[in-house]
Amino acid sequence: MPTIYLVLIAVAIVFGVSVLLISRKRAVGPADRSPAITVPGAPGPIPTTPAAVAEPAVVAEPAVVAEPAAGTDEGIEIFERPRFRDRMSKSRAVLAGVFSGVRSRSGITAETWDDLEEALLRADVGVRVTDELLNGLRARVASKEIADPEALLAALQADMIGRLSANERALRFEPGEPDEPNVWLFVGVNGVGKTTTIGKVGAQQRQLGRSVLMAAGDTFRAAAAEQLGTWAQRSGSELVRGSEGGDPSAVIFDGIESASARHIDLVLADTAGRLHNKTNLMEELRKVRRVAAKGRGRVTEVLLVIDATTGQNGLAQARQFGEVTEVTGVVLTKLDGSAKGGIVFAIETELGLPVKLVGLGESIGDLVEFDPTEFIEALFSE
């Protein structure tokens, strides 16, 4: 008799668990065009260290705070801003040795020019900008305006800063009616750091007091939406996601509508760097761009994310993205791991786009506005 009771209890447990699982699956939605799901943002402070962002399972858990906050101001967490100088050791290493070689000579010789040319090219400044910089300096040396190596390096440093100073780098946010959210789209190839950057930008914008909704337009893998969900939770942002393989434009449109209805200030829209179906990625992004501008939202930034470690190779892709999505600025990620920081010059000169933000690490606070003076001084520091 007791055995029968045990069997009955076991059957009841199995039944209960199945019902739970099925209802969870339904909530995620198997269909291509299932309604997007809005997940409310987590209240409370924003942690400064990366949780296991790539792990899809983490999304349901509360964010892990592995390190204490850098500082707090009435409950709002303040990140310590990383310094270019501390994070750009690889790019600095390429140049520092050359510069000390140049300084060690008593005058400006043929080797001086060779050294400088090689260093600038190795840092991926690009042939055109390198030639322009050095030709300008040669003329000033010929006219005796510049007489010694120290003055030559100082002039090079000033010219490099001067070349980067003209662009408008502030992120555009246009306040409007409460139901007209600003929309910032993030585009770029797979793995460059789009989702991570959205997480960092979301945290910064929350600190500025803006409400934020993240739209998971990368529907290539469910894990991509879960990764964004983790960042949403950590930054106290809302999340709208669709189903795996779903229509990215529809998810982003739903996100904007949801933000409009709930008077959220800013939508950060993630996009895919690759697609499930045969639709061309560029066509899809063109559609995303068009659809994002259709409703109440106003697209005030289209940020092209470029991985600094890919150097000049990233430029060809960048051109393609720029043509279809009307890019307004560049986020240059992984500058901390790159010896090719000079890519900034190629982006600004050859693509004609301002570098607005720079990624200096993987943590939530490791994104800073691009500051040309600080950047160049970091390259020249010993």
Ligand X SMILES: Nc1nc2c(ncn2[C@@H]2O[C@H](COP(=O)(O)OP(=O)(O)O)[C@@H](O)[C@H]2O)c(=O)[nH]1
Between 229 and 365, whose beta carbon lies closer to Mg ion?
229
- Beta partners for residue 305, in sequence order: 331
Least distance to ligand X, CB of residue 74, Å: 29
Least distance to ligand X, CB of residue 217, Å: 11
**Centroid of chain to Cα 267:** 15
Selection from Mg ion, ligand X, none that 190 binds (CB < 5 to 8 A by kind) is ligand X
Binding site for ligand X (CB under 6 A): 188, 190-196, 273, 305, 333-334, 336-337, 359-362, 366
The region that residue 311 occupies, defined by phi over 0 for left and psi between -120 and 50 for alpha, beta otherwise, is left
Taking the CB of residue 283, how many other CB atoms lie within 10 A of it?
Answer: 11
Selection from ligand X, Mg ion, none that 149 binds (CB < 5 to 8 A by kind) is none
Between 65 and 76, whose beta carbon lies closer to ligand X?
65
Element (H, E) at 376: helix 372-380
CA 256 vs CA 38, 184, 185, 289, 295: distances in Å: 11, 11, 11, 12, 7
Between 194 and 206, whose beta carbon lies closer to Mg ion?
194
Selection from ligand X, Mg ion, none that 362 binds (CB < 5 to 8 A by kind) is ligand X
Between 257 and 270, whose beta carbon lies closer to Mg ion?
270
Assign 78 to helix, strand or coil.
coil
Selection from Mg ion, ligand X, none that 356 binds (CB < 5 to 8 A by kind) is none
- What one-letter code names the amino acid at 359? G
Least distance to ligand X, CB of residue 195, Å: 3
Least distance to ligand X, CB of residue 230, Å: 11
Between 256 and 305, whose beta carbon lies closer to ligand X?
305
Contact 369, 83 (CB under 8 A): no
Residue of 256, 177, 175, 174 whose CA lies nearest to 215:
256
Least distance to ligand X, CB of residue 267, Å: 17
Selection from ligand X, Mg ion, none that 89 binds (CB < 5 to 8 A by kind) is none
Between 194 and 200, whose beta carbon lies closer to Mg ion?
194
Binding site for Mg ion (CB under 5 A): 194-195, 218
Strand bridging mode 238-241 / 266-271? unpaired
- 369 DSSP assignment: E
Between 337 and 342, whose beta carbon lies closer to ligand X?
337
CA 199/CA 365 separation, integer angstroms? 10
Selection from ligand X, Mg ion, none that 254 binds (CB < 5 to 8 A by kind) is none
Give the tokens for residue 127: 């042939």
Least distance to Mg ion, CB of residue 302, Å: 16
Selection from ligand X, Mg ion, none that 71 binds (CB < 5 to 8 A by kind) is none
Q: Which residue is nearest to Mg ion (CB)?
A: 195
Element (H, E) at 377: helix 372-380
**Contacts with 3 (C-beta within 8 Å, 6 or more apart), sequence order:** none
Between 130 and 309, whose beta carbon lies closer to ligand X?
309
Least distance to ligand X, CB of residue 188, Å: 6
Selection from ligand X, Mg ion, none that 359 binds (CB < 5 to 8 A by kind) is ligand X
CA dihedral 153, 159, 165, 166 (to 10 degrees): -170
Selection from ligand X, Mg ion, none that 237 binds (CB < 5 to 8 A by kind) is none
Between 146 and 285, whose beta carbon lies closer to ligand X?
285
**Contacts with 283 (C-beta within 8 Å, 6 or more apart), sequence order:** 324
Contact 212, 264 (CB under 8 A): yes
Q: Which residue is nearest to ligand X (CB)?
A: 359
Contact 306, 271 (CB under 8 A): no
Least distance to ligand X, CB of residue 56, Å: 12
